[in-house]
Structure 1
């Protein structure tokens, strides 16, 4: 029978492989990640730094990498990326000419169009095995609008096809909204589809940036790194600086249960989130607290309904007290920052 479905038995489920890291603590193999932040936060320089660490097999600032081929899809500023930024990084790190193996696609691409996905996979297969594709910037990677459900679903299907057929991870660079910097500017279906979300905060005047793990779906969601951008070989290259701290790192650390509650809120917003109009509402999607509570219960390890209820109430109140969430009229949302 053609196109038969492969159903996993209980034994098959238990034998599924553990996720492997492409960059330890940052990006897993065969996964999708989004790196988001405001304009001029040095996102592109950090993405190049990550990608070329994979390309050369060098540790990423002390974090081991699994080396492999890397493709940069530069949907804007491709000339500067290919002529200055990538060569400058190689020169700064004294990489031999023969070990400079990264590839560049210097145009916009439509990952929500089947023919474009087919062409990209074919080009990647001709060039060899790729471990990572860096898409910079998100807004130039689709034919439709980044706020349309139809575009989001087609784009996610296209990216998942790249993962299946090439084995490469996908790192997408995206801007945050003007009023809400707590998430990338995109439809919630995009936002909820990424296995990893990485937040970048930059100071253009000080030439500093931080990168913080906002969420891993299948790993501990911790990790924050500070960088100073140094002028080198006609470009800027990130060098780790432990004195540079992110806003998120300065906030009160979340307990495991509070982190689980925040992740449950993200899931509820993706599934049930709506935009409310009026001066009392934020410029982002909100969700009914009952929907948030149900998602929290799904992942709660507490034995009884009463224990689950109390755990949710404690987590909800703690997140509000520390400025992570806000409520109005039986609805909740994530606060910016």
Structure 2
């Protein structure tokens, strides 16, 4: 047999043959035949996908998450957007009593859902989705109850045993979420806080941030009882869509009602150049980040400043073709981000700042 036809020829080049039999590699024809993504909630969350809803405290994130989840559970259109009905599990890692006793019943009551048609489930405590045993237990509990279309995880910080800014925790957590998708067929909607310094991004490690199929930004006005939900990004669909809500009093809680007069803020606190530089920093940390130990170093990966600058050039922080102009643009955006407390430096390395 010719060496090029030998399925174990990789051994000759220092690679081991596959250790797991039965792996199927897609042919080009099979790639072409892969199905289009289907929507669980039209324009908002796709089936068997991960979605992140992030926003400041008191921006009504939890109320919108309940609204989305119970729309799926009852099969009702979500404010004019078609829904594919299915079972829903709420994992309330904090405030579970209020969620189960007040917020979910208030939504059902507001929408006149009969007692026999109230079928949502609640897991009322923290869970460690970066621990394989906890993921296995959750999947087993879901399988006992039947088929689920959506898991609402609220709130992100209570869903892991490690730190939300550590790479090791992030990788284990993402692996756990992917197991839930794969073994139950459900989508997962995760609710998370933003940092105080940068409210355009959830407070989490870069690996978490980049893992979600959809990112949804929530803004709210506590005094006016209004909020907006905006699609910031879909990996596999057009990233557009924004909805305004007025929060209606119902059963000792609040329920979102669509209000076209409520608009999302058009002013982002970060300039496009600052946003681009932070995206470049995220990429640099993923590509070249290292972990340092000692009192001077943070509990997350850091990266050499030169690597960050290289990624800034790739992202186009400056569109000038001149090296000197690009260098000055980098220095300006670097100084502005440091002044705002979004990044820190030590010994030639840089990292993102996170709230304590």
- TM-score, normalised via structure 1 length: 0.80
Distance 1:93 1:269 in 2: 48
1:117 correspondence with 2:135: yes
What is the aligned partner in structure 2 of residue 288 from structure 1? 308
Give the aligned CA root-mean-square deviation in angstroms: 3.2
1:242 correspondence with 2:273: no
Deviations 1:114-144 (Å, cap 9, x if unpaired)?
0000000001011111000000000000011
Gap regions ≥5 residues in structure 2: 1-18, 291-301, 321-328, 343-356
Select which of 129, 138, 144 maps to 2:147.
129
Larger Rg: 2
SS in 1 for 2:149: strand
SS in 1 for 2:210: helix
Count of residue correspondences: 297
Deviations 1:52-102 (Å, cap 9, x if unpaired)?
000001010001011100000000000010001001000000011121111
Distance 1:266 1:239 in 2: 39
Gap regions ≥5 residues in structure 1: 252-257, 276-283, 297-308, 315-325
Distance 2:289 2:243 in 1: 33
SS in 1 for 2:217: strand
Do the aligned partners of 1:34 and 1:196 also contact (CA within 8 Å) in 2? yes
Deviations 1:162-183 (Å, cap 9, x if unpaired)?
0000010000000011111011
SS in 1 for 2:202: coil
Distance 1:231 1:269 in 2: 46
Select which of 93, 118, 127 maps to 2:111.
93
Seen in structure 2, the aligned counterparts of structure 1 residues 273 and 221 have a Cα distance that, compared at 3 Å, is farther
What is the aligned partner in structure 2 of residue 81 from structure 1? 99
Structure 1 residues 168-317: aligned runs within 5 Å: 168-248=186-266, 265=280, 268=283, 271-272=286-287, 288=308, 290-292=310-312, 294=314, 313=319
What is the aligned partner in structure 2 of residue 147 from structure 1? 165
What is the aligned partner in structure 2 of residue 57 from structure 1? 75
SS in 2 for 1:22: strand
Distance 2:86 2:225 in 1: 30
CA apart distance, 1:289: 5.1
What is the aligned partner in structure 2 of residue 16 from structure 1? 34
SS in 2 for 1:313: coil
Seen in structure 2, the aligned counterparts of structure 1 residues 74 and 330 have a Cα distance that, compared at 3 Å, is closer
Seen in structure 2, the aligned counterparts of structure 1 residues 247 and 158 have a Cα distance that, compared at 3 Å, is same
What is the aligned partner in structure 2 of residue 328 from structure 1? 331
